[in-house]
C-alpha cells in the first residue's frame, strides 16, 4: 500500500518562551496542493507555531518534517532554502522602497543559488496581482493595506516556495479586500504552491481551506474539513460570534 507523505508535518511539537510553554504537543500534517487553515484566538500560539517552522523559537520537544526531511534543528536560512516562505503578521513591507524594489528583495534575501530566472518570478507575481504591476514604481508605504498585503505575499512568492506560510493576512482589512486576496491564494495553490494559513478570521479562512485545525491555548482541539469546522457548534461559538 502506498502512503502519501505530507509536505509539512509537526510531530508532537512543544514550544516554550523561557519557562512558559505556549504550544503543547502539536501534531498536524499538510499535504501537497492543499490549503490548510489553523484558526485560533489572539494569543493561542498561531504565530509561534509558524515561527517554529523556521526554528525561531526552536521546538523544545517533538519533530518538524518538510518535504521528507527532518528540519527541526536546521538554521533559519537553511529552512528557507528548503522551499518554505513566510508572510509574517503585520505585512512588513519596506515603506520607503518601491513595489518593484520590495519584490526584488524577496529573491535576493532568501535565495543564494540563482538556479531560476528572476523574470519568471516577477512575471508570475505581476500576473497574479496586476495592481502591483500598475504601482511598481510607487513607494510601498503609500499603498493601501490590501495592496501591502499583496506585496508581502508577492515578495514571499519571489523565492518560488513549495509552501507559503501566511500569518493573518486578513488582519485589519475590509471583508471585500480579504475576499480578493483569498481568491489569489486559491490561484497560488493552483500554480503549485501549498498554503498553510493561520487566521483569527475563522469564517473566511475555513471557507477557503480544504482542511482546518482549531488551536486553543496552544493545543489543537479540533480538526476536520473546512466545511465541517464552519458548522461545528464549538467553532461557531468561539470564533463566529454565536452564543
Strands across the sheet containing 219-225: 84-87, 163-167, 194-199, 35-40, 211-216, 219-225
Which lies closer to ligand ADP via its Cβ, residue 86 or residue 122?
86
Q: How far is the CB of 58 from ligand ADP (least distance, A)?
A: 13
101 binds, among ligand ADP, Mg ion, none (CB under 5 to 8 A by kind): none
Q: How far is the CB of 45 from ligand ADP (least distance, A)?
A: 4
Stated length of the chain: 243
Size of site (CB under 6 A) for ligand ADP: 10
48 binds, among ligand ADP, Mg ion, none (CB under 5 to 8 A by kind): ligand ADP
72 lies in the binding site for ligand ADP (CB under 6 A)? no
Which lies closer to ligand ADP via its Cβ, residue 15 or residue 188?
15
Q: How far is the CB of 173 from ligand ADP (least distance, A)?
A: 17
22 lies in the binding site for ligand ADP (CB under 6 A)? yes
Spatial contact of 50 and 76, defined as CB atoms under 8 Å apart: no
Could you give the CA distance from residue 217 to residue 21 in angstroms, rounded to a whole number? 10
Which lies closer to ligand ADP via its Cβ, residue 52 or residue 159?
52
Angle of CA points 77, 72, 212, to nearest 5°: 100
Could you give the CA distance from residue 203 to residue 17 in angstroms, rounded to a whole number? 30
DSSP state of 33: T
Q: Which of 6, 45, 55, 121 binds ligand ADP (CB under 6 A)?
A: 45
Q: Which of 17, 115, 137, 242 binds ligand ADP (CB under 6 A)?
A: 17
101 in the Ramachandran plot: left (φ > 0), alpha (ψ -120 to 50) or beta? alpha
102 binds, among ligand ADP, Mg ion, none (CB under 5 to 8 A by kind): none
Q: Which three cell numbers stand for residue 67?
A: 518535504
- Taking each continuous run of H as one helix and of E as one strand, the counts in the chain are 10, 10
Could you give the CA distance from residue 141 to residue 155 in angstroms, rounded to a whole number? 15
Spatial contact of 199 and 168, defined as CB atoms under 8 Å apart: yes
47 lies in the binding site for Mg ion (CB under 5 A)? yes
Interface of this chain with ligand ADP, residues 25 to 44, rule: CB under 6 A: 40, 42-44
Q: Kindly list the residues in this chain that would bind ligand ADP in the complex (CB under 6 A).
A: 17, 22, 40, 42-48
Q: Kindly list the residues in this chain that would bind Mg ion in the complex (CB under 5 A).
A: 46-47, 89
Amino acid at each position: 500500500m502506498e502512503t502519501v507523505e505530507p509536505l509539512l508535518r509537526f510531530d508532537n511539537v512543544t514550544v516554550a518562551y523561557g519557562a512558559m510553554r505556549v504550544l503543547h504537543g502539536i501534531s498536524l500534517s499538510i499535504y501537497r496542493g492543499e490549503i490548510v487553515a489553523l484558526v485560533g484566538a489572539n494569543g493561542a500560539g498561531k504565530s509561534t507555531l509558524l515561527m517554529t517552522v523556521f526554528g525561531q523559537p526552536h521546538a523544545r520537544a517533538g519533530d518538524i518534517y518538510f518535504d521528507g526531511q527532518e528540519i527541526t534543528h536546521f538554521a533559519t536560512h537553511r529552512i528557507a532554502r528548503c522551499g518554505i516562505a513566510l508572510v509574517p503578521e503585520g505585512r512588513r513591507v519596506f515603506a520607503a522602497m518601491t513595489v518593484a524594489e520590495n519584490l526584488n528583495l524577496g529573491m535576493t534575501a532568501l535565495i543564494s543559488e540563482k538556479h531560476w530566472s528572476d523574470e519568471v518570478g516577477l512575471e508570475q507575481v505581476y500576473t497574479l496581482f496586476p495592481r502591483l504591476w500598475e504601482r511598481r514604481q510607487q513607494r510601498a508605504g503609500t499603498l493601501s493595506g490590501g495592496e501591502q498585503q499583496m506585496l508581502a505575499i508577492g515578495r514571499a512568492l519571489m523565492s518560488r516556495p513549495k509552501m507559503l506560510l501566511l500569518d493573518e493576512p486578513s488582519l485589519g482589512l475590509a471583508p471585500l479586500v480579504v475576499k480578493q486576496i483569498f481568491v489569489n491564494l486559491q490561484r497560488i495553490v493552483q500554480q503549485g504552491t501549498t498554503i498553510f494559513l493561520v487566521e483569527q478570521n475563522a469564517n473566511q479562512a475555513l471557507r477557503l481551506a480544504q482542511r482546518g485545525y482549531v488551536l486553543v491555548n496552544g493545543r489543537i482541539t479540533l480538526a476536520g474539513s473546512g466545511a465541517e469546522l464552519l458548522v461545528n457548534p464549538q467553532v461557531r461559538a468561539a470564533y463566529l460570534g454565536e452564543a
